[in-house]
Homo-oligomer: A and B are copies of this chain.
């Protein structure tokens, strides 16, 4: 039984998995991607759309694209989402983008009589594939209610954090920041104890076993210990992009965040040394190098 038709714009490693989960949950998914051949879409249970506008014409469309400029590209213009969405149609933007563009897009949609919900996610491609994303949404309550059936098909839980779409991005960026901060902290702790003759694995067992008991500390700690920065879960240059988006938000809201600055500068140094395509936890290697460790 079909749950109705939804559009989906952006079929990368995240978006592709999310669209397939919508299809498996019973939605007809009218999908568009900049670089995908229509045949590939049919195999995944999706229906090819010729343009973002066409994907949007049934009144509800999800976008999941790489960055601010890609989001602008699929939204505006004759072939864009805004051109295709009918009156009161809903654009659910699930990319992590800056708070300024989020606020601006909300205004543009409202001005055009369309609806806009920001709904960035926590989770890597494997979580997207397993429909285990966590979704942080902001926008009008009615729009959030319309989006919930889609969220249930793509994630394990969703949160409605406020009426202004940019609030969702702020929460997402704050969550990413907490992860970065943990990486910096673990990196410094590993460097200290390594020079004291203690194996990082043992330190992690102790502090996570006795204190944090957190799967995130275990997973990232293990990557740092094994130095498995390739293939990347989240590329350092994208983590750096998020750090900069968050510091922009902090600037706009006048919130000094010295730890965020510290980690941003650390990632910038990693990028300057050519580590931009490695997993962002590679910053732990830089911390070790600063301590003279090989």
Specify how many copies of this chain sit in the oligomer: 4
Is the CB–CB distance between A258 and B265 below 8 Å?
yes
User: Known contacts A175-B211, A206-B159; is A167 also within 8 Å of B196 by CB?
Assistant: yes
A257 at the A/B interface (Cβ < 8 Å)? yes
User: Known contacts A197-B162, A215-B213, A254-B268; is A260 also within 8 Å of B188 by CB?
Assistant: yes
The winner among A205, A210, A292 for most chain B CB atoms within 10 A is A210
Interface size grouping (class) on chain A: 35 or more
Interface of A is mostly: helix
User: Known contacts A167-B196, A202-B159, A206-B175; is A265 also within 8 Å of B261 by CB?
Assistant: yes
Binds B, one of A26-34, A68-76, A224-232, A243-251: A243-251
Is the CB–CB distance between A268 and B250 below 8 Å?
yes
Q: Which residues of A in the span 265-285 have a Cβ within 8 Å of any Cβ on B?
A: 265-266, 268-269, 271-274
Q: Which residues of A in the span 191-223 have a Cβ within 8 Å of any Cβ on B?
A: 191-193, 195-198, 202-203, 205-207, 209-217
A259 at the A/B interface (Cβ < 8 Å)? yes
Residue on B nearest A172 in the bound complex, by CB: B206
A143 at the A/B interface (Cβ < 8 Å)? no
Is the CB–CB distance between B191 and A255 below 8 Å?
yes
A186 at the A/B interface (Cβ < 8 Å)? yes
A264 at the A/B interface (Cβ < 8 Å)? yes
Is the CB–CB distance between B244 and A269 below 8 Å?
no
Is the CB–CB distance between B244 and A256 below 8 Å?
no
Is the CB–CB distance between B256 and A266 below 8 Å?
yes
- Which B residues lie within 8 Å of A189 (CB)? 174-175, 177-178
A246 to B134, CA, bound (A): 36
